[in-house]
Amino acid sequence: MKFKSMMLGAAAAAAAATTAQAADLPVAPEPVDYVRICDAYGSTFYYIPGTETCLKVGGRIRTQFVVNNVLEDGAWGTRDADGYTWRTQAYAYLDARTATQFGTLRAYSALSQRAENGVLSVQLDKAYIQWGGMTAGYATSNFDIFTGQTFMGVVTRNWSDQTVNQLAYTAAFGNGFSATLAVEDRSAREVGAYGGTRMPDFVAALAVSQGWGSAQLSGALHQVYPDTASSYQTGITLDGAEDDLGFAVGGGVVFNLPMITPGSNIFFQGFYADGALSYLGASGTVGGVTVSDFGSNGDTSTGYSLSAGAYIQATSTIGLALDGSFMDLDQAEGFDDFNRYAVDGSVVWQPVSGLEIGADVGYANTQADGEDDVDELLFGVRMQRTF
């Protein structure tokens, strides 16, 4: 009996020892696919795990308060108009790039959500694919050259600043020289009572970017296509505008000013348009004056705009900016000729990297033939965090 008890005890002890030794054995860890930095496009990119695609994720939050036109002709003189505009906006940026035998394959998107005076909205800011020299999607118009120096731009200055659907090809010739040919959506460029879309705009640009700065020459062809009420009906020509081909040309130059401080620069640009006033930065109404690419007699409206600006990096944390424009329109029959000038200035403080706090003031004057001047004076402040 004693022998049997001893054997059972020994077996139990052996089993316990075996269990303890098994528990002490090391367990192989699960494989982990660590995120790797993609230095081919900069330290802010990383490889998407399991792929050779590099991704950059970024964003921006801004909140701003703008006091709308405080002069007699402005919002404060009309009870039903908003005296201020309070906006908070959030941006999300995604930039994915992959090296291919035909060049970098890139997909970029920028989305924003906005709360402004109690109204919430979602907006697509940009979304395009680039492969080699080709760009397809929703991106800045290839006609645009310079779109301002100031932090906020509380008052509109007159130059081309459009984001459009497009298909473009850019050829790089080396030493900073390039040429672009593009087909762009006409819809964003229609000023006046247009009919349905028929022909997109054709845009071309020659550009150079070097250490001293950059320069560009731009040209565009634009179909002037009045709606039925303005042009013709069932083949019967009415007393109105006919289809035409408008155009716009322009040029601009930016000079870097490192002799003042790194980051400082100055720009000049000018544009002329015939039947394509959007390329001057003209919209449906400017300073209370209605604007149209064409008139009731079939003629097209013409005009030009000139603009300039400067940015000075006053200290390592403070930037000063000032820019302005002058636009003069000779409109076709049924619409008033007018000119407008606008000036905007800002000061920005960057206490830490990625955070900007600034103030902006803008003034504009519109003078239509036979009418009193319309003046605009606006003020704004903004806080912005970019990451």
3-state secondary structure string across 65-111: EEECCCCCCCHHHCCCCCCEEEEEEEEEEEEEEEEECCEEEEEEEEE
Tell me the CA distances in angstroms from 307 to 158, 164, 167, one per residue in order.
Answer: 8, 22, 28
Residues pairing with 37 in the sheet: 46
Q: Which helix (H) or strand (E) holds 7?
A: helix 2-24
Tokens 């900073």 belong to residue: 176
What pLDDT is recorded for position 5?
52
What pLDDT is recorded for position 8?
45
Whether 210 is covered by a domain: the verdict is yes
What pLDDT is recorded for position 235?
55
Backbone angles phi, psi at 91, to 5 degrees: -115, 145
Check if the beta carbon of residue 180 is closer than 8 Å to that of residue 173: no
What pLDDT is recorded for position 284?
87
Single-letter residue type at 276? A
Whether 256 is covered by a domain: the verdict is yes
Whether 329 is covered by a domain: the verdict is yes
Task: Say what the pTM is.
Answer: 0.87
What pLDDT is recorded for position 332?
94
Whether 109 is covered by a domain: the verdict is no
Q: Is the dihedral of CA 329, 335, 338, 340 positive or negative?
A: negative
Whether 59 is covered by a domain: the verdict is no
What pLDDT is recorded for position 24?
52
Question: Residue 14: helix, strand or coil by DSSP?
Answer: helix
Q: Which helix (H) or strand (E) holds 11?
A: helix 2-24
Q: Which two tokens stand for residue 194?
A: 């247009």
Check if the beta carbon of residue 330 is closer than 8 Å to that of residue 299: no
First vs last Cα of the chain: how many Å apart? Answer: 80
Check if the beta carbon of residue 39 is closer than 8 Å to that of residue 56: no
Whether 91 is covered by a domain: the verdict is no
Find the domain containing 330 and state its range: 145-338
Whether 127 is covered by a domain: the verdict is no
Tell me the CA distances in angstroms from 345 to 324, 333, 338, 351, 363, one per residue in order.
Answer: 9, 36, 24, 20, 9
Number of domains in the chain: 1
Q: Which helix (H) or strand (E) holds 13?
A: helix 2-24
Whether 266 is covered by a domain: the verdict is yes
Backbone angles phi, psi at 51, to 5 degrees: -135, 170
Tokens 């544009």 belong to residue: 271
Residues of the chain with pLDDT under 70: 1-34, 232-241
Q: Which two tokens stand for residue 313?
A: 């990096």
Q: Which helix (H) or strand (E) holds 129?
A: strand 119-131
What pLDDT is recorded for position 23?
47
Neighbours of 301 (CB within 10 A): 26
Tell me how far the alpha carbon of residue 276 is from its chain's centroid. 21
Residues 324, 330, 336, 339, Cα dihedral to 10°: 20
